[in-house]
Copies of this chain bind each other. A is one copy, B any other.
Amino acid sequence: MRYEKGHKEATRQHIIEVAARRFRENGVAGAGLAGVMSDAGLTNGAFYSHFESKDALVRESIMYAVDKRMSQLQIAIEKNLTLEQTIRDYLSPRHREEAGKGCPTAALVAEIARQPKETRDEYSGKVESHLKLLASRLPNGSNEKRRRVALALHAMMIGTLQLARAVSNKKLSDEILQSGVKSALEFVSLSSD
């Protein structure tokens, strides 16, 4: 064969990674397949030998991005990074600026709500996993309580990041991030008594 073994699988994976970035940057509806394929260094004709449809790529690339974020969280735990550091990283100017490399939920959650059932089904499972992971990082309380706090903390973090991205007033945007860090930390500590 022309290409080394595993080449096609590697190309497919490359398309998924490039797409995951483009979708987070421009939105699912705002990013076209020609752009994705061009980013991947290919022509658009090659797309359909890798995926059944745009919907299929959207689904796979969102799941890939969510999995990757969760494994980063997992690595942070193994490195003994504090929950405070995780919150500070999430609500940082860097994360605000680099939506394409950041949290797929913050970038795409509203569009996920309009995706086909299969995508939303898989996403629901990821949300469950994410909640378990986040709850495991909370200091104390019953399982039920930690799950509830994890949910609120997650919602607060995605909402805060989205607001910071939407406003054009830099001062306000910075305030939103800093205020968000403070409130998130306060919420976690107050909820652990």
Dominant secondary structure of chain A at its interface with chain B: helix
User: Does A160 make an interface contact (CB < 8 A)?
Assistant: yes
A132 to chain B minimum Cβ distance, whole angstroms, is 12
Question: How many angstroms between the C-alpha atoms of A29 and B29 in the bound complex?
Answer: 6
Q: Do the beta carbons of A111 and B151 come within 8 Å of each other?
A: no
Instruction: State the copy count for this chain.
Output: 2
Indicate if A1 sits at the interface (CB-CB under 8 A).
no
Contact check, A167 vs B110: say whether CB atoms are below 8 A apart: no
* A190 interfacial by beta-carbon distance below 8 Å: yes
**Contacts A110-B110, A114-B30, A152-B180; A120 near B162 (Cβ below 8 A):** no
Q: How many Å from the CB of A80 to the closest CB on chain B? A: 27
Bound-complex Cα distance A29 to B165 (A)? 18
Interface residues of A in 16-67 (CB under 8 A from B): 26-27, 29-30
Q: How far is the CA of A105 from the CA of B160 in the complex (A)?
A: 12
A133 close to B (CB within 8 Å): no
Assembled-state Cα–Cα distance A178/B52 (Å): 38
Given A29-B27, A110-B27, A111-B27, CB of A155 within 8 Å of CB of B166: no
A70 at the interface (CB under 8 A from B): no
Q: CA A186 – CA B169 in complex, angstroms?
A: 31
Closest to A127 in B: B167
With A149-B183, A152-B156, A152-B184: A27-B114 Cβ-Cβ less than 8 Å: yes
Cα of A99 to Cα of B112 in the assembled complex, Å: 14
